[in-house]
A and B are shown apart, each in its own frame.
Chain A
Amino acid sequence: DGGITQSPKYLFRKEGQNVTLSCEQNLNHDAMYWYRQDPGQGLRLIYYSQIVNDFQKGDIAEGYSVSREKKESFPLTVTSAQKNPTAFYLCASSMAGPTDTQYFGPGTRLTVL
């Protein structure tokens, strides 16, 4: 079964702690993306990567970091520098780049207490 997975679905962390959200895809897609969604708002792009070992900042990259060591994996770290980390985080992948359809994972709802 091909798809994109994110885990866990719900995550709770204390303020001041870094947390890493996982994203894995077995679609053989080159491009991967991280978005953040807040209530009543659209998805906002955090980071994206078009190939292994390369990634670009999106519109709201401050307080986040990513790595792309393998084609299948694009983990997102929410650092303590991110002022409002509580949100719904969505990972997506597409065949080659942004003009291709993006397939989304089920999302991780992060709550920082």
Chain B
Amino acid sequence: GQNIDQPTEMTATEGAIVQINCTYQTSGFNGLFWYQQHAGEAPTFLSYNVLDGLEEKGRFSSFLSRSKGYSYLLLKELQMKDSASYLCAPLPNDYKLSFGAGTTVTVRA
């Protein structure tokens, strides 16, 4: 199976920056997804990293280091609507995607 580790909760102020770290151990690797999930709702896609490095997409950026089994999601200029759970999901060689328990981010005014 996969081992996915990310912090349970993070709190930040509106307008600030938050970095959500994810470490993983998988049998092979075919990329890593980040999804956002608001309470009681379905997850929505944020990013997919296959190669090492930083990918920026508006206020959200995602970083990957395959050799370290490490990724992070960077949320900039935080808004109240960013309060949600953020799910890290590496894709192993069997292509069965599983998700970490998620990091609940609370944005305070």
Contact = CB atoms under 8 A, between A and B. Distances in A.
B98 A44 contact: yes
Given A42-B87, A58-B96, A98-B97, A103 B102 contact: no
Interface stretch (B12-20, B37-45, B53-61, B66-74): B37-45
Given A59-B1, A59-B96, A98-B97, A43 B31 contact: no
Contacts of A103: 45
Interface stretch (A12-20, A63-71, A104-112): A104-112
Contacts of A98: 30, 91, 95-97
Given A103-B45, A104-B43, A42 B98 contact: yes
A101 B45 contact: yes
A103 B1 CA distance: 24
Interface string B75-106: 00000000000010101000111111110000
Nearest to B100: A42
Interface residues of A, number: 22
Nearest to A57: B96
Contacts of A48: 96
**Overall SS of chain A's interface:** loop
A45 B44 contact: no
B68 to A, nearest CB: 21
A45 B98 contact: yes
B22 to A, nearest CB: 11
A90 B45 contact: no
Contacts of A45: 96-98
Contact of B4 (A42, A104, A106): A42
Interface of A: 33, 35, 40-45, 48, 58-59, 90, 97-99, 101-107
